[in-house]
């Protein structure tokens, strides 16, 4: 039961950030297509948003490790 909870935690915890990062990349490419001159500001905002989305996956990993070893 403990390993099942770890698997569900990581599965659900990685699904949201994966979808979010995909959407961020998609919208950034759309924005670059519409306004190529704003590349540096779009890239900066995209990298910052990806870092925040990835932090959610890292929190899920931490929770899964706590569940596994506690």
The Cα 50–Cα 57 span in angstroms is: 11
Superfamily (CATH H level) for 2-69: F1F0 ATP synthase subunit C (1.20.20.10)
Q: What's the pTM value of the predicted model, to 2 decimals?
A: 0.82
* pLDDT score of 28 more than 90: yes
The Cα 58–Cα 64 span in angstroms is: 10
pLDDT of residue 70: 87
* Interval 34-60: pLDDT, tens: 999 999 999 999 999 999 999 999 999
pLDDT of residue 25: 94
* Interval 4-16: pLDDT, tens: 999 999 999 999 9
Neighbouring residues of 39: CB distance < 8 A, sequence distance ≥ 6: 32
């Amino acid at each position: 039961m403990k390993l099942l909870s770890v698997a569900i935690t990581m599965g659900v915890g990685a699904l949201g950030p994966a979808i979010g990062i995909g959407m961020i990349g998609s919208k950034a490419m759309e924005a670059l297509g519409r306004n190529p001159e704003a590349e540096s500001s779009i890239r900066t905002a995209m990298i910052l948003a990806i870092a925040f989305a990835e932090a959610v996956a890292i929190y899920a990993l931490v929770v899964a490790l706590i569940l596994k070893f506690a």
